[in-house]
Structure 1
Amino acid sequence: MISDKKFIVEGKLAENERIKGESNFLRGTIAQDLKDDLTGGFTADNFQLIRFHGMYQQDDRDIRAERAKQKLEPLHNVMLRARLPGGIISPTQWLAIDKFAEDHSIYGSIRLTTRQTFQFHGVLKPHIKLMHQTLNKVGIDSIATAGDVNRNVLCTSNPVESEVHQQAYEWAKKISEHLLPKTRAYAEIWLDGEKVETTEDEPILGNNYLPRKFKTTVVIPPHNDIDVHANDLNFVAIAQEGKLIGFNVLVGGGLAMTHGDHSTYPRKADDFGFIPLEKTLDVAAAVVGTQRDWGNRVNRKNAKTKYTLERVGVENFKAEVEKRAEIKFEQSRPYEFTSRGDRFGWVEGVDGKYHLTVFIENGRILDYPGKTLKTGCAEIAKVHKGDFRLTANQNLVIAGVPPEQKQQIETLAKTHGLISDGVSNQRLDSMACVSLPTCPLAMAEAERYLPGAVTDIEGLLEKHGIPERSIIFRVTGCPNGCGRAMLAEVGLVGKGPGKYNFHLGGDREGTRIPKMYKENISEQEILTHLDELIGRWAKESNENEAFGDFLIRTKVIAPVVNSAKDFYA
């Protein structure tokens, strides 16, 4: 349904549109490619199409040159991102993914991601089908966790207020299922599903799917732990007397941009208004459908929902959603975000059960000398009677622990380094994307750079007499935004080896985009600037004034109010 053709961008369609249109509903020739043992990679269009099945083809860039010298192709492998709405996983499921990572991943690790799910890295072609079938046996898939579709639906990790969270989580699952592709391609290729002769149709996503990736969240104030302004569509839970009554709907957030292209920029989401629960799926489909029909299919750099809103106007987009969903948005119900980090340590829920949040630096679960994180998680999974909850900040919640089991879980966590003394507030408030050596888009280090960079910032805080304070610090290896640096007080965006664009001025609540302070500077230059600015913050800040707010108040950096107009000003 296209209600107003004047909002369609005319021109030669992007190459990805041809790939999707000719894919036979995302099948392509992936099944044939799997049988080709002359290469470890996927060829032609399939390189793009496997993304719709939750995978990216990668190689280890650290050894690429050496393999080329040996006249070998790059060490092709895939990264798989699971579909896990709300990030909840059972101990049985955890043990299955732990074993697969141990037996069939080059790196042996489980990676918790900013999309509130887990990733396998380094899975070679002969093991890909087994990977999908292993997940399927325990009720997990990777359908639509990448590609031009609605991706894994996030939900606030809030096991404390259990009833509201359970309701919100159920809606996250419903939204995820409602917006999934209807094609049977995934089951046919990976699970040996029966090929059914049928005329396929994608009533919500469209037969050419969406113009670009689409991200959805369910968030429970006052915790903005999923960063609403990084997402296309957000349902802000509104509760009364402990019961979920509806959602405020926020549309058009996104953080990705392209270096040197000022037509691209990060953008905050707009608040469309309040809806009752029964209209949730209708509104979700209407927002997706409007973006499907009006989104830019000519220029992929301007294809995200945020650019559609800027081009057609927020009110026009909102009116179209109302028409399609047969609803009038009510005035937004009041809410406030007061935090977005995870609550570490033990907390007691309203149901009397306990929940332990453990810090996983960079989300990488692996056994290290003296810190056997992967083994520890598996040992806990063997005895745990509740569930695990993956957070959008790359951490892990061991949830639903009965009082009598609390000590057992804590002992296992301490034994394996999942609980350790001396982790600073600064380290807890820092995050990075994967970047090198596996991400093909990476321009600079992120995951491998972060631990040392945090140590340096800890040193600066100590130097200036404020070791207990912290800065929301995030690093992403390229401008695509996976590490959500564009919602940090200090955000680094990779520009080249050892070089970053240096952004300042976001806030702790995740409601303000930082502005570029210096372009293409070295790691040492970043520390020099931070030394000066942290020194000023220590001496001149108001009581409890956050770093980003201090920088704005003292006019070190201008606030980004309208990112389309003043992000580059």
Structure 2
Amino acid sequence: MASTDKKLSPVEGIKDDSNYLRGNIATEMVDGTDHFSKESIQLIKHFGMYQQDDRDARAASRAAGGSGKEYIMMVRTRLPAGLLTSKQLMEELDLCDELGNGTLRITSRQATQFHGIHKDNVRTLMQRMKGVGLTTLGACGDVNRNVMCCPAPFKNNQLHNQIQDMSFQLADHFAPKTGAYREIFLQDPETGEKEQVDTGETIEPIYGKHYLPRKFKMGICLPEDNCIDVYTQDLGMIAIHEEGKIIGYNILVGGGMGRTPSADKTYPALGMKLTYVSPEDLIPVCEAIVKVQRDFGNREDRKVARLKYTVRNMGLDEFKKKVEEYFGRDLPDPHPADVTDFDDHKGWSEQGDGNWFYGLNVENGRIADNETHSLKTAIREICTTLDPGIHFTGHQDIIFSGIAEADKGKLEDILRKHKVVLTEEISNTLRWSMACVAWPTCGLSITESERALPGMVDDLEKEVEKLGLSGEKFTMRMTGCPNGCARPYNSDIGLVGRAKEKYTMFLGGRLLGNRLSYIYKDMVPADEVVPELVKVLTVFKEQRVEGESLGDFCDRLGQEKLLEATGG
């Protein structure tokens, strides 16, 4: 670890004493309590879990003489490129019914999350997941997390297959190698394999004993389709291609969304172009970058431990020199190619092999049955009758692939039967919106997000229609805290939880994802969000130049002039 002469954060000590993430987790799994210790809470993240409690249930718990906390686990699946089979999705839906709260959630990183899992059921869930070839290892924690990649199942060229295959290679290469996951969760505790003992060989050849200083995120896109927000990744890869073949990758470093409003040392950032590498050198160069972050990332203060701070503190040139040292040779300048467009892959598209795929909008990624629609039941029927490939997008939506021409109507009929609104029937306001989970289960959330955004979208889309702006595309993303899991800091409109039922409003990002937004107004009450946006949209309609998007307009005016134009 770097900076060993400084006081390390408590989490570093926990990892140091954990024997490669084991700690006391195995003992605590069977100790009869409903929660883990504070040390184990940090370690279980590496196995795809967060310990949470349902804050909606606290009052009832206290009234019944309890502690006020009803402990539950959020368990996240690692799904490179968001790809899985109908069989795998059906098992996840079964598990959310049998062991969770009855819902499954698609994340903004193309993975899935179970909510409401009790500690006693964790091992069962993970073993059932293993039975269908799925894992939660490395979905959270101080390691490389789910590798994002354009999930579109086009078959008429090899580009998508190539980058999706690379996402799996990267996921495997950077997965933790410790045997703790198998020992604790997948093996019988009495007859299974015993602890892995360090006999002098390196158990974690990339991460080492202390793993990374903080979480690490990777993503791959094509220049013409930045559907995974490549500039927000710690390590982003733009696949450059000519004549249907990938010739190399532009490497971006130092993206990341989280910030702490009370700490000026923290900030959202977009990735910076580092170099251009051949397909053969991609994984070795990525490994060099990860190792530089391992050795030079901040281990004293987790608020500034992400790669974005390492790159900017070192300076891009010095960071590149260090990567070259670890890689073993000089690296060239970046390729001039950059991202140029964004496709959300919703609606019907020809795959190129005679079949079709359908991208279905899933509001905020929540797969559930409720009083308005039965999305979960509809997906079960689609998987059972049509057996499509399943692809999750970076916008929390689902793609069904391999649909025969004759079955297109059948898929739509199933959705309509269960009152699921088709993608073609939703507004642009809804289509380009997304939110994080937030209240009541996420321990970091300050206020509502997933439960608040739908009502705001309903109100806003009516006003957008009145203004004659229904054809406009603008991203609107909400988070319940400044950590920015739904990537609000580079969207046209970002709403970030600041206090209970109050939000910081960001404007001026863009659909393409390569520009940060600015704070337009702070501490906006929830019931004033839509009226404030209506004022902005009204000025946008009146003063925009031809072809100008909402984000471009807000960026051109800037905060001061926009406030003046809207009346402050």
TM-score between the two structures when normalised by the length of structure 2: 0.94
Question: How far is 1:129 from its partner?
Answer: 0.5
Q: For residue 468 of structure 2, what is the aligned residue in structure 1?
A: 465
Q: For residue 227 of structure 1, what is the aligned residue in structure 2?
A: 229
Please give the alpha-carbon distance, in whole angstroms, between the structure 1 residues aligned to 2:4 and 2:226: 34
Question: How far is 1:324 from its partner?
Answer: 1.5
- Establish whether residue 175 from structure 1 lines up as the match of residue 162 from structure 2: no
**Matches for 1:260-409 after TM superposition, within 5 Å:** 260-409=262-411
CA contact (8 A) 1:515 1:557 kept: no
Question: How far is 1:226 from its partner?
Answer: 0.9
**Matches for 1:190-205 after TM superposition, within 5 Å:** 190-192=185-187, 193-195=192-194, 197-199=196-198, 201-205=203-207
Aligned residue among 136, 141, 151 for 1:142: 136
- Establish whether residue 46 from structure 1 lines up as the match of residue 46 from structure 2: no
Of residues 430-439 and 411-420 in structure 1, the stretch that sits farther from structure 2 once superposed is: 411-420
Question: How far is 1:335 from its partner?
Answer: 3.0
Q: For residue 516 of structure 1, what is the aligned residue in structure 2?
A: 519
Please give the alpha-carbon distance, in whole angstroms, between the structure 1 residues aligned to 2:254 and 2:440: 31
- What amino acid does structure 2 have at the position aligned with 1:525? E
- Establish whether residue 446 from structure 1 lines up as the match of residue 441 from structure 2: no
Question: For the structure 1 residues 457 and 314, does the alpha-carbon distance in structure 2 shift closer, same or farther, using more than 3 Å as the test?
Answer: same
Per-residue deviation, residues 98-119 of structure 1 (Å, max 9, x unmatched): 11111111x2011000010111
Question: How far is 1:322 from its partner?
Answer: 1.7
Please give the alpha-carbon distance, in whole angstroms, between the structure 2 residues aligned to 1:554 and 1:250: 28
Please give the alpha-carbon distance, in whole angstroms, between the structure 2 residues aligned to 1:430 and 1:155: 20
Aligned residue among 136, 161, 182 for 1:187: 182
- Establish whether residue 494 from structure 1 lines up as the match of residue 489 from structure 2: no
Q: Alignment partner of 1:45: what SS?
A: helix
Per-residue deviation, residues 33-73 of structure 1 (Å, max 9, x unmatched): 11122x21111311111101100011110111221232213
Question: How far is 1:341 from its partner?
Answer: 4.7
Q: For residue 97 of structure 1, what is the aligned residue in structure 2?
A: 92
- Establish whether residue 248 from structure 1 lines up as the match of residue 243 from structure 2: no
- What amino acid does structure 2 have at the position aligned with 1:504? L
Superposed CA RMSD: 1.8
Question: For the structure 1 residues 268 and 41, does the alpha-carbon distance in structure 2 shift closer, same or farther, using more than 3 Å as the test?
Answer: same
Aligned residue among 37, 45, 54 for 1:60: 54
Q: Alignment partner of 1:63: what SS?
A: helix
Please give the alpha-carbon distance, in whole angstroms, between the structure 2 residues aligned to 1:528 and 1:154: 35
- What amino acid does structure 2 have at the position aligned with 1:176? A
Of residues 489-498 and 200-209 in structure 1, the stretch that sits farther from structure 2 once superposed is: 200-209
Please give the alpha-carbon distance, in whole angstroms, between the structure 1 residues aligned to 2:5 and 2:514: 34
- What amino acid does structure 2 have at the position aligned with 1:282? P
Question: For the structure 1 residues 243 and 500, does the alpha-carbon distance in structure 2 shift closer, same or farther, using more than 3 Å as the test?
Answer: same
Please give the alpha-carbon distance, in whole angstroms, between the structure 2 residues aligned to 1:29 and 1:220: 43
Please give the alpha-carbon distance, in whole angstroms, between the structure 2 residues aligned to 1:389 and 1:298: 39
Q: Alignment partner of 2:416: what SS?
A: helix
- What amino acid does structure 1 have at the position aligned with 2:58? R
Please give the alpha-carbon distance, in whole angstroms, between the structure 2 residues aligned to 1:155 and 1:502: 29
Please give the alpha-carbon distance, in whole angstroms, between the structure 1 residues aligned to 2:443 and 2:22: 24
Question: How far is 1:167 from its partner?
Answer: 0.8
- What amino acid does structure 2 have at the position aligned with 1:195? K
Aligned residue among 105, 111, 114 for 2:108: 114
Question: How far is 1:197 from its partner?
Answer: 4.8
Please give the alpha-carbon distance, in whole angstroms, between the structure 2 residues aligned to 1:446 and 1:479: 12
- What amino acid does structure 1 have at the position aligned with 2:335? R
Per-residue deviation, residues 538-569 of structure 1 (Å, max 9, x unmatched): 1111222111111122334699xxxxxxxxxx
Structure 1's consecutive aligned runs of 4 or more residues displaced over 4 angstroms after TM superposition are none
Please give the alpha-carbon distance, in whole angstroms, between the structure 2 residues aligned to 1:453 and 1:117: 26
Per-residue deviation, residues 408-467 of structure 1 (Å, max 9, x unmatched): 223223323444363101100111000011101110110000001112221221232222
Please give the alpha-carbon distance, in whole angstroms, between the structure 2 residues aligned to 1:303 and 1:463: 46
Unaligned runs of 5+ in 1: 560-569
CA contact (8 A) 2:495 2:506 kept: yes
Please give the alpha-carbon distance, in whole angstroms, between the structure 2 residues aligned to 1:372 and 1:162: 36
Please give the alpha-carbon distance, in whole angstroms, between the structure 2 residues aligned to 1:91 and 1:395: 15
Please give the alpha-carbon distance, in whole angstroms, between the structure 2 residues aligned to 1:274 and 1:9: 33
CA contact (8 A) 1:360 1:418 kept: no
**Overall identity of the aligned pairs, in %:** 37
Please give the alpha-carbon distance, in whole angstroms, between the structure 1 residues aligned to 2:561 and 2:49: 39
- Establish whether residue 483 from structure 1 lines up as the match of residue 482 from structure 2: no
Question: For the structure 1 residues 56 and 557, does the alpha-carbon distance in structure 2 shift closer, same or farther, using more than 3 Å as the test?
Answer: farther
Q: Alignment partner of 2:364: what SS?
A: helix
Please give the alpha-carbon distance, in whole angstroms, between the structure 2 residues aligned to 1:179 and 1:349: 31
Please give the alpha-carbon distance, in whole angstroms, between the structure 2 residues aligned to 1:380 and 1:223: 27
Please give the alpha-carbon distance, in whole angstroms, between the structure 1 residues aligned to 2:372 and 2:533: 32
CA contact (8 A) 2:49 2:76 kept: yes
Aligned residue among 409, 412, 423 for 1:410: 412
Question: How far is 1:162 from its partner?
Answer: 4.8
CA contact (8 A) 2:74 2:114 kept: yes
Question: How far is 1:269 from its partner?
Answer: 0.4
CA contact (8 A) 2:53 2:70 kept: yes
Name the count of aligned residue pairs: 552
- Establish whether residue 151 from structure 1 lines up as the match of residue 145 from structure 2: yes
- What amino acid does structure 2 have at the position aligned with 1:332? P
